[in-house]
Chains A and B, each alone.
Chain A
Amino acid sequence: KAGVTQTPRYLIKTRGQQVTLSCSPISGHRSVSWYQQTPGQGLQFLFEYFSETQRNKGNFPGRFSGRQFSNSRSEMNVSTLELGDSALYLCASRPGVGNQPQHFGDGTRLSIL
């Protein structure tokens, strides 16, 4: 079974641009969560999608958004990029909601110049 796939692996953008990151969950998994990891703040929860609906959201500004498609693939978008958005963005999938282990992708490393 293929694992969680995130694309692209690396991305360089400049301030003010926008970016879209993609996550393909494990086949059969309907929940996708997104996380941001920075050296200063560590890992932080961004949002979770289940059956194409956002069911949970972390404490991030509205510049961070996401969506989920009918095949459970998910995208997250960051608009008007700031230097502080430089981070590793991880997504994780699980079959459903509730107490289930999460399966993480390798992440997308985003650098803002």
Chain B
Amino acid sequence: AQKITQTQPGMFVQEKEAVTLDCTYDTSDQSYGLFWYKQPSSGEMIFLIYQGSYDEQNATEGRYSLNFQKARKSANLVISASQLGDSAMYFCAMKNNYQLIWGAGTKLIIKP
């Protein structure tokens, strides 16, 4: 069965430090897509970054990058130079046919 695992329920990080949020996935498919979303306290789900299974390079979007290790089936999100506004829930998700399979999320709190 396809599954997304986020093992860090919560993280505290000092402002301006880099942070890595872990995500591992399980699938027998050769083609798949991996997504990261941010959910601040307001509730809106904000799309951050996408990685395709056949992409040879790790995806980057501004301060966000995805450390994609296909053999290990991991797709960790790296946030560089964290800011107070980065405090939120972060969800990893995988495209499965027509829907997304979601991880349980990681609550990130940035300390000033």
Q: Do A and B bind each other?
A: no
